[in-house]
Amino acid sequence: MACKAKAAQVFVLMGVSGSGKTTIGQTLARQLNCPFYDGDDFHPPENVAKMSNGIPLTDGDRWPWLQRLRGLIAVHLEQGQPAVLACSALKKKYREQLGSGNNGMVLIYLKGSFDLIWQRMQHREGHYMKAEMLQSQFDTLEEPSPAEAHVVLIDQKVDAIVRAIVETT
């Protein structure tokens, strides 16, 4: 079955850890019959070790990772193959790096309150991002403007969130 997304679109789901990027991204990709990529899987082992030990990454840690993701987006767009990517992209300059030269990248900001996301993170197991690091994520977050991203509130069921993404993009 062919992908149901518009040709040459890569959906980048951004937001703080615990906002549902992976769950929503996997669901969206299944609905659109497109590949899903979790940006976390592209971190080098040194970055994972830092985050596992509660050490926030620096911009220097992130640049090679963002370049890999930018390349992944570019390959899909060049080949006309839509995809879904989950990536925190908390700062404007990170989003600019991902989108540089990548016309067809659609940014979706999964927005939720600290309290809602904190509650969700308390029930997550086996993830290297610890709930205690959530405040640093919110401190780092530079919310995108409506011109930069589609803003989708995450205080609803996954199916409703995915429906909102499909209807607004």
Return the SS3 of 58.
coil
Domain membership of residue 134 (yes or no) is yes
* Count: domains in the chain: 1
Mean pLDDT across the chain: 89
Cα R_g (the chain), whole angstroms: 15
Q: What is the DSSP letter of 39?
A: G
Domain membership of residue 42 (yes or no) is yes
SS (H, E, C) 107-161: EEEEECCHHHHHHHHCCCCCCCCCHHHHHHHHHHCCCCCCCCCEEEECCCCHHHH
* pLDDT tier for residue 28 given thresholds of 50, 70 and 90: very high
* HSE (side-chain half, CA atoms, 13 Å) at 63: 3
* pLDDT tier for residue 131 given thresholds of 50, 70 and 90: low
Q: Which domain holds residue 126?
A: 10-168
Which tens digit of pLDDT belongs to each residue from 84-106? 999 999 999 999 999 999 999 99
Strands 83-86 and 10-14: parallel
Q: Is residue 1 scored above 50 in pLDDT?
A: no
Domain membership of residue 4 (yes or no) is no
Q: Is residue 129 scored above 80 in pLDDT?
A: no
Mean pLDDT throughout 68-94?
Answer: 96
32 closest CA partner among 11, 4, 58? 4
Domain membership of residue 157 (yes or no) is yes
Structure tokens given for 112 = 């939720």
Q: What is the CATH number of the domain that holds 73?
A: 3.40.50.300
Beta bridge partners of 109: 14, 151
Higher pLDDT: 33 or 123? It is 33
Q: What pLDDT was estimated at residue 56?
A: 77
Domain membership of residue 3 (yes or no) is no
Beta bridge partners of 37: 85
Q: What pLDDT was estimated at residue 3?
A: 53
* pLDDT tier for residue 51 given thresholds of 50, 70 and 90: confident
- Taking residue 7's Cβ as centre, other Cβ atoms within 10 Å add up to 11
Domain membership of residue 88 (yes or no) is yes
Domain membership of residue 2 (yes or no) is no
Mean pLDDT throughout 154-161?
Answer: 96
* pLDDT tier for residue 168 given thresholds of 50, 70 and 90: confident
